[in-house]
Amino acid sequence: MSNKNSPGPSHERAIYGFVMYMSSTFALCLYLIWAYLPKSWLHYVGLTYWPQKYWALAVPVYCSVCIPFLYFFYTAYNFTITLPLDSINTMQDIHSRAASHVAEPSLSIPQISDIPISEVNKLLYRRRKQITESDVK
């Protein structure tokens, strides 16, 4: 009984993996031969149509520069799709859970709920002299 959606090993995946491994190894060897052997040796063997040696260095450099560039733009894109701070949706949406005011035993862990923004502001932004020892606990 085989499940087509299973992530486990199968005969077909073993064949695909082996073919991909051999293809990538062959491509790497071909790249290294092209990058390191002098042009005269490649012409002597009969391999005459190759890209310029400039691209042997330029493509890896372009790819390695592209990675931090993508991190930067991914972060910038997330900032552009984030709602403004004065939007009500940054404080409350359809998934918000209001705190229940049911009496709980003193040593129990309270249920998960969202803290209203007014409570957060009250604790974060009041003056130092207004903070009492009961708030610190």
pLDDT of residue 126: 78
Q: Which pLDDT does position 136 carry in this prediction?
A: 53
Q: What is the mean pLDDT of residues 43-57?
A: 88
**72, 70, 114, 110: which is closest to 90 by C-alpha?**
114
Mean pLDDT of all residues belonging to the chain? 83
> CB of 53 within 8 A of CB of 38?
no
Q: Please give the Cα distance from 65 to 81 (Å, whole number).
A: 25
pLDDT per position as a tens digit, 101-135: 777 777 888 788 888 777 887 888 876 655 555 55
pTM beyond cutoff 0.85: no
Would you state the pLDDT for residue 129? 56
Counting Cβ atoms within 10 Å, is residue 91 exposed (0-12), middle (13-18) or buried (19+)?
middle
pLDDT tens column, 71-112: 999 999 999 988 887 777 777 777 878 777 777 777 888 788
In tens, the pLDDT along 32-45 reads 999 999 989 988 98
Tokens of 40: 């005269």
**7/1: higher pLDDT:** 7
